[in-house]
Amino acid sequence: MTAPPDQRPAHAAEAPVLWVEIIAGTSDPAWPAVVALRERVFGREQRISEATASDPDDARSLHALAWMETANPDGLDRRLVGTGRITLDRAGRNEALIAWVATAPEVRQRGIGTAVMRALVAEADAAGIGETLLAAQRHAEGFYGRLGFFATGAPYAVHGIPHRWMIRTRG
């Protein structure tokens, strides 16, 4: 599956190629790149110590991977610049949970997070999931709101970072 970013560079010569793919579980050869991006964004940038630890949901979830290709004199450089996870049909409740949404700092504000989220939401919709939940960092509520999520419940902190549950209902 591919999903284009919302924002494109002003000139075609500046445009790196971006595509989003979905992988299942943690056995894909790209999995170490997912862990490395999580460590970079959540571990080093946000200082969340368990950012590199795989949790039980990783193996049974779908992961969206946003790849960017840029030309260089020796060919093409391909690197992972965005990721997110969706766990479908949690405990038979016809709901999904999105987690670990991350974009490399140097490519933020280019539509990559939007492309990742659209790919994850498309997976929930294709599976007929009624409600999709996520624990949004408060600074990102507007981002998720533009994608159809609504804040619910009181704010709370995770590792000292303010969060709030958000929900999207299919339909």
In a domain, 3, yes or no: no
Residue 51 banded pLDDT, cuts 50, 70, 90? low
- Cα 133 versus chain centre, distance: 13
In a domain, 49, yes or no: yes
pTM: 0.85
In a domain, 6, yes or no: no
User: What is the rounded average pLDDT of the residues 32-43?
Assistant: 91
Considering its fold, how many domains does the chain have in total? 1
Q: Are strands 131-137 and 95-103 parallel, antiparallel or unpaired?
A: parallel
Residues 23 and 127: their CA atoms lie apart, in Å, by 15
In a domain, 140, yes or no: yes
Q: How many C-beta neighbours within 10 Å does residue 18 have? A: 21
- State pLDDT tens for residues 5-28: 444 443 344 456 688 999 999 999
The domain of 148 spans: 12-169
Lowest mean pLDDT among 50-54, 62-66, 119-123: 50-54
